[in-house]
């Protein structure tokens, strides 16, 4: 995740949750965002502007009538500067003033004067939040295009329990990251293989495997969302091409997948999510094999080329990410494959027990030469986004 060069205006209004916004600034700065903080007069009763100034590394503004600050960066300039405005906490009073288009302080003026998307993180006592006047203001703000983040349900500073708690800083940060889309692979070409391979025995029978292709398709989609130019080499699956994927090549056998991947191997990153068949029948019958008396049929199988190993044998090859679906001893097999196949990273998962091939959810452990990270059980789409974030990070660390 990165917010490098992203310009975020954080509005802080008067509520005890303002203390959490200090941590929010830290979290945004950790992702290299540029953050400027504007406080309402009320907010300064909870947290000092000096705190936000130290955390953001920028002067904090409170008043519309600060001649010195206006000379440095006028409020209209500041409104134009912002790519996102997040008001956290957004008090009942601030929501009321915004809903009615008031511009009676700097923060409300900026919200009116800016074309940037407006995000509001309400924080107030649950009784206040439930009040029809507040709810009417929220409805108006939504109609005007503001996006509400929270509030959450839980313990409140006033001792009540209910809806009105401000979202946690990391949740607000993630919402901002998502609002920009993760562009961590912008400018890179990513090649993804997905699905099973089928090795024909005769015109009606084949040797295949239980890969659904869903993990690989989710990876291709996540890479495209992250800004990559994605080529997807797909085995026999009936899945729609994910949004944003630039090119799709459909194949059936391991040999065809091998050829298609090598033809597109000028990519920056190859993610081998396909479950490639290791063996193929040496003779493919042109006619349907008939059943004969005697009970036994012997198929002679030959080994398929290993796609990842072929790529890693090339002198200039993409950053290589393999998958390892294992039923047992996941870590040792996966780390073995990482080494033997000369990979930069491997994503290992246990198959069986409701996870893996045909399941909607999955969990992965990523290994690289000197590190590992667990990606706990979640949807394949979410898992793919996290995988892509780690791939982007490792790519930048080793090739960037
Ligand atoms: N792979 C490949 N070419 C093959 C076989 C596998 O590129 N012919 C890739 C897969 O896409 C996956 C990784 O290698 O990213 C591991 O696949 P897997 O089938 O688990 O590994 P194998 O080397 O076939 O080992 P085994 O079947 O013995 O577990």
- Kindly report, residue by residue over 51-90, the tens digit of the pLDDT: 999 999 999 999 999 999 999 889 999 999 999 999 999 9
Q: pLDDT confidence of 357, banded at 50, 70, 90?
A: low
The CA-to-CA distance between both ends of the chain, in Å, stands at 15
Note the pLDDT of residue 350. Answer: 86
Determine if the peptide bond prior to 108 is cis (ω within 30°): no
pLDDT in tens, 290-339: 888 778 889 999 999 999 999 999 999 999 999 999 989 999 999 999 99
Ligand 1 pocket test target in 324, 331, 336, 347 with most atoms within 8 Å of CB: 324
What are the tens digits of pLDDT across the range 87-128? 999 999 999 999 999 999 999 999 999 989 999 999 999 999
| pLDDT > 70 fraction of the chain, expressed in percent and rounded | 98
Question: Residue 276 has what pLDDT?
Answer: 98
With b for 16 or more beta-carbon neighbours within 10 A and e for fewer, the 112-146 pattern comes to ebbebbbbbbbbbbbebbeeeebeebbebbeeeeb
Ligand 1 centroid – CA 324 distance (Å)? 7
Closest CA to 80 of 110, 118, 39: 110
Indicate the pTM of the whole model.
0.66
Q: Which atom of ligand 1 is nearest to the CA of 322?
A: 15
The answer to whether residues 14 and 160 touch, using CB atoms and an 8 Å cutoff, is: no
225 CA from centroid of ligand 1 (Å): 26
Burial of 282 (0-12, 13-18, 19+ CB in 10 A): exposed
Structure confidence by residue, pLDDT tens digits, 25-44 = 999 999 999 999 999 999 99
Cβ atoms within 10 Å of 184's Cβ, excluding its own: 22
Report d(CA 264, CA 261) in Å as an integer. 5
What is the pLDDT of the chain when averaged over all its residues? 93
Residue 328 CB coordination number (10 Å): 9
d(CA 363, CA 299) in angstroms, rounded, equals: 35
Which of these, 318, 222, 324, 340, lies nearest to 270 by C-alpha position? Answer: 318
C-alpha 306 to ligand 1 mean position (Å): 7
Closest-lying ligand 1 atom to the alpha carbon of residue 321: 15
Counting atoms of ligand 1 from 1, which one is nearest the CA of 308?
7
Strand pairing report for 84-90 and 247-250: unpaired
Catalytic residues: 158
Q: Nearest residue CA, atom 27 of ligand 1?
A: 278
Pocket test for ligand 1, best of 210, 337, 347, 366 (most atoms within 8 A of CB): 337
Q: How far apart are the CA of 80 and the centre of ligand 1, in A?
A: 52
């Amino acid at each position: 995740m990165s917010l490098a060069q992203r310009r975020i205006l954080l509005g802080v209004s008067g509520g005890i949750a303002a203390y959490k916004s200090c941590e929010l600034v830290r979290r945004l700065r950790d992702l290299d965002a540029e953050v400027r903080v504007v406080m309402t007069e009320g907010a300064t009763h909870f947290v000092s502007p000096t705190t936000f100034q130290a955390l953001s590394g920028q002067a904090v503004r409170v008043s519309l009538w600060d001649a010195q600050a206006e000379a440095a960066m006028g409020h209209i300039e500041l409104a134009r500067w912002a790519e996102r405005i997040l008001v956290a906490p957004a008090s009942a009073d601030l929501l009321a003033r915004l809903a009615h288009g008031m511009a009676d302080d700097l923060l409300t003026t900026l919200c009116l004067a800016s074309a940037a998307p407006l995000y509001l993180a309400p924080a107030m006592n649950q009784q206040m939040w439930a009040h029809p006047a507040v709810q009417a203001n929220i409805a108006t703000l939504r109609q005007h295009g503001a996006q509400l983040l929270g509030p959450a349900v839980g313990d409140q500073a006033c001792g009540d329990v209910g809806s009105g708690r401000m979202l946690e800083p990391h949740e607000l940060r993630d919402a901002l990251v998502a609002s920009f889309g993760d562009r961590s692979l912008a400018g890179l070409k990513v090649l993804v293989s997905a699905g099973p391979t089928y090795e024909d025995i005769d015109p009606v029978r084949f040797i295949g495997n239980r890969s659904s292709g869903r993990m690989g398709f989710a990876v291709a989609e996540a890479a495209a969302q992250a800004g990559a130019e994605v080529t997807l080499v797909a085995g026999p699956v009936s899945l729609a091409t994910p949004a944003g994927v630039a090119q799709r090549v459909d194949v059936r056998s391991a040999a065809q997948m091998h050829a298609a991947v090598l033809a597109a191997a000028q990519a920056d990153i190859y993610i081998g999510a396909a479950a490639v068949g290791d063996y193929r029948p040496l003779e493919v019958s042109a006619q349907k094999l008939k059943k004969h008396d005697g009970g036994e049929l012997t198929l002679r199988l030959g080994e398929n080329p290993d796609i990842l190993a072929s790529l890693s044998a090339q002198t200039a090859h993409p950053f290589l990410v393999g998958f390892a679906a294992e039923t047992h001893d996941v870590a040792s097999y996966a780390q073995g494959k990482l080494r033997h196949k000369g990979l930069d990273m491997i994503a290992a998962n246990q198959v069986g027990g409701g996870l893996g091939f045909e399941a909607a959810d999955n969990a992965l452990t990523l290994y690289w030469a000197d590190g590992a990270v667990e990606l706990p059980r979640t949807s394949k789409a979410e898992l793919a986004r996290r995988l892509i974030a780690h791939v982007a990070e490792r790519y930048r660390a080793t090739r960037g």
